[in-house]
Amino acid sequence: MTKKPARAEKSAPRTRIQREKREEILQAGLTVFAAEGFRGATLDRIAAEAGLSKPNLLYYYPSKEAIHETLLERLLATWLDPLRALDPAGDPVEEILAYVGRKLDMSRDFPRESRLFANEILRGAPRIEPVLKGDLKSLVDTKSKVIRDWIAAGRIAPVDPYHLIFSIWALTQHYADFDVQVRAVLDAADPYPGAEAFLDGLYRRLLSP
Amino acid sequence: MTKKPARAEKSAPRTRIQREKREEILQAGLTVFAAEGFRGATLDRIAAEAGLSKPNLLYYYPSKEAIHETLLERLLATWLDPLRALDPAGDPVEEILAYVGRKLDMSRDFPRESRLFANEILRGAPRIEPVLKGDLKSLVDTKSKVIRDWIAAGRIAPVDPYHLIFSIWALTQHYADFDVQVRAVLDAADPYPGAEAFLDGLYRRLLSP
DNA sequence: TCGTGATTTGACCAATCGGTCAAAGTGACG
DNA sequence: CGTCACTTTGACCGATTGGTCAAATCACGA
């Protein structure tokens, strides 16, 4: 029996080079997928971005889909963390404001991830619909209950918890996804300081009982 | 001199059939571009959606780009109308609430248009950047001035007018662009009644002096 | 240093893409 | 009812795409 040449596909990377190259490919893929969408991205562009030849890239990942899938999995693993961190035991207004702040930080620090997600949702979420209806929905249900309790206790003003959460998603992700538009209107200034102040004021006013 | 067979390209349509087919193609193109993005859309899919053969489609529009361009032009011609209608002479809070209402109606009634726009912005607005930095920016500048005056007159609470407008865009368009996610979380219920109530309450609370 | 598995690449392939073209079909009007 | 412009289509083309493969090269432990 001859040992197969063991392509770097499946399973955990075994060598240092595999670990490094795999990571570089994911970074390149994230850049290209975020900018062009799944169908708009080409293996040649991803390979070029990663400084590899196309066959070499396919040595580390078996297909374009595999790269995309890995990126989405990795994203979803942390995408909901800011909401998970909403603490039922904390001060309601400050907890929600802190959540807004974390989400806005993510838009500023990880705009490619935000656009990757936006692209996927815009296309009807073909690859992550189960997650939306599963983990995402149950997390939002849980946190909505927390918010409803805060309202019932008179600790924040009465608002629909679901639409409150949607509003936080919309407002914070807008600065990453519609960045070009925001910068065009603001004449290329960094929008984030202003956005933070605005959102802080908005939710403070909306929620204070 | 032989008269050329006059392709149905350039210039205004001359016959009834041209008018009808051109419109059907635009509708098909809007559906496909909104769902798949520019690069993801194929002429075959647009042609199928319009019930035409590919060469027949290309008899009416010279290229895929031409269809996309026409759709964007047509969209931009009305996209800013809701903001243009903001009346400096009206009651400030009611004017802004009416603007929010108009934008939310557009998300509900024209989700394909919203997604077409979102796709274009996500990709860096390669075809409409001049419009963003031109017409859009100057319109927003104008209306921001109006809002600033309202604030100076003490008729609404002090907020950054630019981020206020961004927030209206983000919140309303979110319901069209991220429709799948919203419906997944709300368990397929129609989100619009709830959204309207939420946004009404939000901006009333934010803006009342 | 040497062999063996890990890595890299040039050449290649089938499928799909946007687009062309010549020829065939259709309809409205004199 | 004939005709001529308008409309439709099947066959085709070159370019690009995702992906394969065999051979060449590299790196590292014994």
From first to last of its 209 residues, chain B has per-residue pLDDT tens of 223 334 454 455 667 778 889 999 999 999 999 999 999 999 999 999 999 999 999 999 999 999 999 999 999 999 999 999 999 999 999 999 999 999 999 999 999 999 999 999 999 999 999 999 999 999 999 999 999 999 999 999 999 999 999 999 999 999 999 999 999 999 989 999 999 999 999 999 999 98
A4, pLDDT greater than 60: no
In this predicted structure, the answer to whether residue A5 has a pLDDT above a threshold of 70 is no
Of all residues in chain A, the one with the smallest CA distance to B166 is A182
Selected residues 122-181 of chain A with any CB under 8 Å from a CB in chain B: 122-125, 129, 132-133, 136-137, 140, 157, 159-160, 162-164, 166-167, 169-171, 173-175, 177-178, 180-181
Task: List CB contacts (< 8 A) between B121 and chain A.
Answer: 177-178, 180-181
Say how far residue B73 (Cα) sits from the centre of its chain: 10
CA neighbor of A170 nearest in space, from A75, A109, A100, A119: A100
The answer, yes or no, to whether residue A2 has pLDDT greater than 90, is no
Which class for B177: exposed (0-12), middle (13-18), buried (19 or more C-beta within 10 A)?
A: buried
Average pLDDT over residues A116-141: 98
The DSSP line for chain B is -PPP---S-SSS--SHHHHHHHHHHHHHHHHHHHHHHHHH--HHHHHHHHT--HHHHHHHSS-HHHHHHHHHHHHHHHHTHHHHT--TTS-HHHHHHHHHHHHHHHHHH-HHHHHHHHHHHHTT-TTTHHHIIIIIHHHHHHHHHHHHHHHHTTSS----HHHHHHHHHHHHHHHHHTHHHHHHHHTT---HHHHHHHHHHHHHHHH--
pLDDT tens sequence across A33-90: 999 999 999 999 999 999 999 999 999 999 999 999 999 999 999 999 999 999 999 9
Q: A75: how many CB neighbours lie within 10 A of its CB?
A: 18
Record: contact B205-A157, CB cut-off 8 A:
yes
- Which among A36, A182, A205 has the least Cβ separation from residue B166? A182
Domains and CATH numbers, chain B: 16-74 (1.10.10.60), 80-207 (1.10.357.10)
Which residues 10-49 of B have a C-beta within 8 angstroms of A? 35-40
A142-176 tens-digit pLDDT: 999 999 999 999 999 999 999 999 999 999 999 99
Q: What's the confidence (pLDDT) of residue B5? A: 38
pLDDT of A117 higher than 60: yes
pLDDT of residue A13: 63
Least Cα distance to B207 among B146, B167, B156 occurs for B156
Contact between chains at A132 and B180 (C-beta distance less than 8 A): yes
**Which residues neighbour strand D (beta carbon < 7 Å)?**
A 16, 41-44, 54-55, 58, 62-65; B 3, 5-6, 8, 14-15, 17-18, 21, 52-56, 59
- pTM of structure: 0.94
The three-point CA angle B164-B165-B171 to 5° equals: 90
